[in-house]
Structure 1
Amino acid sequence: MKISRHFDEKETTVSATGERLKIKNIPNQNEKDNILYTASRMDVIREYLGIPLIVLSWFRSEELNTAVKGSKTSAHRFGLAVDVYSTKMNSKDIYNKLIEAQAKGVLQFDQLIFYPKQNFVHIGFKLNKDYERKMYFVSE
C-alpha cells in the first residue's frame, strides 16, 4: 500500500537482518505517524534527485536495532531515518547533490551520512525542522 507519492508501506519495515533473524519489525501508531512524516520528506528528496531510491532500512524496532548494532538513539528507531541507494546514480553523487540542495535552501535534513564501503546514504530527520542539525559526513 502506498504511503506517499514515491514510497510504499512495505519499504518502511524492510530489513535483510530482520528477515534472516525472523525479527518482527512492526511500528506502533506513533512510529507509523513518524514514518508518514518521513515519507513526505523523502518524496521531496526523491523528486529533487529525479531518480528512484531503493530503501535498505527505514523503521527499526528496538530488537532489530539491537541486532544490527544501531545506536540506541538512532532515528531509525522512531521511523525518522532512511538508508537508500539507487541503480540510476551512485551513492556519492546522491550525497553530494543533497548537500548542494541543502546549501541552496531547496531541502534540509538533520543528518546525511555517506557510507562508501556499503554504498548507501543515510538520511535522517527531526519532527521539528528547527532542531535539525543539517550535518553531513562520510563514514568508514
Structure 2
Amino acid sequence: MLNSKYFKEVETTVSATGKSLKIKNVPNEQERNYIQYTASRMDHIRELLGVPLIVLSWFRCEELNKAVKGSKTSAHRFGLAVDVHSNQMTSKEIYEKALKLKQQGKIQFDQLIYYPKQNFVHFGFKLDQASERGMNWINN
C-alpha cells in the first residue's frame, strides 16, 4: 500500500500503452519499495510546486518499457522516475520552477527533462541521493 500525501497507488502503474496492449504492469516487492521512495520525493516536490500533478507514467515493467521504446536503463523500470503534467501550471512552468527550486537547494533529482511536444516533465531519481547528477534538459 502506497503511503503518499498526494499520489494514489493506481497512479504508480498507470499507462495508456499498457492498457491498450493489455500488459500487466505489476511491480514486485523491491519495485514497490522504490515506488514508495519516489512517492516521498514527489510529495516534497508537489508541495513546493503548489499545484496538483497528473501522472502519465511512473513504474514500467520490462514488457511495458519495451512497448513504449523506453531506455533499457530507464529509471521508470524500477519506479524511480515519474512523468507528470498539471492542469494548473504549464509543463514548461513546472520545469522552470523545479530548476529554480534545485538552485535554491530545496529539491534534488538525477534527471529533470521537459518534453514540450508531449507536454510533460520527467523527474528521475537515484536511491543514493549523493550520486544524483542533477541533469536537466529540454527534449525537443
What's the TM-score bracket when you normalise by the shorter of the two chains?
over 0.9
The alignment partner of 1:121 has SS state of strand
What is the number of residues matched between the two proteins?
140
Residues 2, 36 of structure 2: 8 Å contact kept: no
Contact 2:116/2:138 (8 A) holds in 1: yes
In structure 2, what is the equivalent of residue 129 of structure 1? 129
1:2 shift after superposition: 5.0
Q: Work out the CA distance in 2 between the residues paired with 1:79 and 1:38.
A: 7
Stretches of 4+ aligned residues off by more than 3 angstroms: none
Partner residue in 1 for 2:75: 75
| Partner in structure 1 of residue 12 of structure 2 | 12
Alignment of 1:45-124 (within 5 A): 45-124=45-124
Q: Distance in 2 between matches of 1:2 and 1:125?
A: 18
> Distance between the aligned counterparts of 2:119 and 2:8, measured in 1?
22
Q: Which runs of 5+ in 1 are unaligned?
A: none
- Counterpart-to-counterpart distance in 1, 2:14 and 2:65: 12
State the SS of the aligned residue for 1:83.
strand
SS in 2 for 1:27: coil
In structure 2, C-alpha distance between the alignment counterparts of 1:24 and 1:88, rounded to whole Å: 31
The one-letter amino acid of 2:48's match is Y
Match of 1:32 in 2: 32
One-letter amino acid of the structure 2 residue matched with residue 93 of structure 1: E
Distance 2:122 2:107 in 1: 15
Whole-Å separation in 1 of the counterparts to 2:34 and 2:2:
15
Letter in 2 for 1:132: E
TM-score, normalized by length of structure 2? 0.98
Displacement of 1:3 in angstroms is: 2.6
Which structure 2 segments of 5+ residues have no match?
none
